[in-house]
Chain A
Amino acid sequence: MSPEQPAPWPDYEPDEVAFLEAGGGPGRSCPAPELLFPAQEGALPARLQSRIAAHLEHCGLCQDLLLATTDLPAAGLTRIERDRIRSRIAGSDRSESRGQSWRWWLRPALLLTAAGTLALVAGLWTVRTVTPGVTPAVPAQPAIALAAPSVPSVLRFERAPLPAENDALLWRSGRVEAVDETSRELARAHEAYRRGDFAAASHGFGLVAKLRQDDPLVHLYLGVSELHRHRFSEAVLELSTAQRLAGRDRTISSEAAWHLGYVFHRNGERERAIATFEDLCRGTTVRSALGCAAALELSRGAQDARR
């Protein structure tokens, strides 16, 4: 029973109602049962701990409940839960090892890009606000248009140098044979992405995505390729998938979120774009600064439009 959703009093059956009447009616003077064991283990924060401990001291019923449930052999993991946990750990392991191979240069590069974008946004804002005697013109495009030059510049940056899978890089350099056909396809897709052939890139990443369905990076590149092709609904689907699969890999998930916000903006879905950028803004990655700037500009644009 979670306190966030107070359960309605259960629909008692006639026999239960008769039992309750004979017993003097139900009572609700005890704290939520899920607090009892953590209180016994000393795992609650101080205020909660002292309140529950004080209650437990004088409430025989809660002591009984604690004893009764301690004696019960609570059910363990179901097969589905067990497999889900195992695959989460495996996924984290993969993304960690993959991340180590390319993030060393991606992070500082993104930091530089973010700083450049912020400087650009700040510069344009300053020009708009401090030019004496000039009434700032209402922009014909949404206000994000001010920041828009930064968005393609980020995408251009990502095309070269392109973070590729280790095996794909080795294959391209001719040092080893690609491990399998999927790796070759991935290398070809990256190559197409690099030269700006987004139709070929999209085709290649799409093939690989079918074989590596749980790989967030493949979905990220597929989504960005679709964005370049102005296929916005496909881009949203792939970028959302990348974001979901990235889980706690904040680098990949924030990349996906940034591009997702940009797709919404390009597709004229201002509110969704603002919401996505605001979510991104709450994070701590280098993309977060860009998210804050974009959300701010879009919100200003919305205010201007209302005026």
Chain B
Amino acid sequence: MKDFDEAYAKHADAVFRYALRLVGRRDEAEDLTSETFLALHRNIAGLDLSQLPGWLFAVARNKAMDYWRHSKVEARYLDTLPPPETTWSPPLQMWLSESKALKPIHRACLILRYVHGMTREEIGGQLGISDVQVKGHLQYARALLRAEMERKAP
């Protein structure tokens, strides 16, 4: 039990972050983390603890595969995909892609807000920051991009 508690204290955050990236939803990531550590709890006696955290990540990935393979989840996402031949991009997307001034956090906030139409709360949930922080990043990023557009305007 001591080994398990130590492993949980040490790796729970990393496993959760990985799970969140794998399934994209905080509630699902919590379930996935829970199942992963439950598997560790059941197998810890026969496990070489030097295999951690790799073993945990492998279990989390397998469980994420199970989640995505659930027929309803797959069908829902297949229905929402753009057609494979879609190559059209609005001008804003090109600006976002080509800008050199944007930092990763700014680019991520802009894409999620203006390409995917997410709310500030949803963006915060996706990136792990507050919606107030998202608002600040968006304001700053818009100013940066506007300045770049004006500089490059013919």
Could you list which residues of chain A lie within 8 angstroms of chain B, going by C-beta atoms?
A: 1-4, 6-7, 9-10, 15-16, 19-20, 22-35, 37-38, 41, 43-45, 47-48, 51-52, 54-55, 58-61, 64-65, 67-69, 71-77, 81-82, 84-86, 88-89, 92-93
Whether the Cβ atoms of B38 and A72 lie closer than 8 Å is: no
Cross-chain contact B95 with A23 (CB below 8 angstroms): yes
Instruction: Say whether chain B's binding surface is mostly helix, strand, loop, or mixed.
Output: helix
Within the assembled complex, what's the spacing in Å between the Cα atoms of A52 and B24?
A: 15
- Which B residues are within 8 Å of any A CB, using their own CB? 8, 12-14, 16-17, 20-25, 30, 33-34, 37-38, 41, 61, 64-65, 68-69, 74, 76-82, 84, 86-93, 95-97, 104-105, 107-108, 111-120, 122, 126-129, 138-139, 142, 145-146, 149
Min CB distance A132 to B, Å, is: 48
Q: In the complex, what residues of B have CB within 8 A of residue A34's CB?
A: 23-25, 126
A158 and B74 CA atoms in complex are apart in Å by: 43
- Judge whether A89 and B77 touch: CB under 8 Å: no
In the complex, chain B residues whose CB is within 8 Å of the CB of A92: 38, 41
Given the known inter-chain contacts A37-B22, A47-B74, please indicate yes or no for A55 contacting B84, CB distance below 8 A: yes
- Determine the distance from Cα of A74 to Cα of B25 in the docked complex, in whole angstroms: 13
- CB of B61 within 8 A of CB of A26, answer no
Give A19 Cβ to nearest chain B Cβ, in Å: 5
Could you tell me if B111 and A65 are in contact, using CB atoms closer than 8 angstroms?
yes
Question: Hey, which chain B residues are within 8 Å of A31, CB to CB?
Answer: 77, 80-82
B89 touches A45 (CB 8 A): no
Q: By the criterion CB–CB under 8 Å, are A2 and B25 in contact?
A: yes
Q: Give the docked Cα–Cα distance between A231 and B126 (Å).
A: 47
> Are B128's CB and A61's CB within 8 A?
no
Q: In the complex, which of the residues B23, B68, B118, B138 has the most CB atoms of chain A within 10 Å of its own CB atom?
A: B68
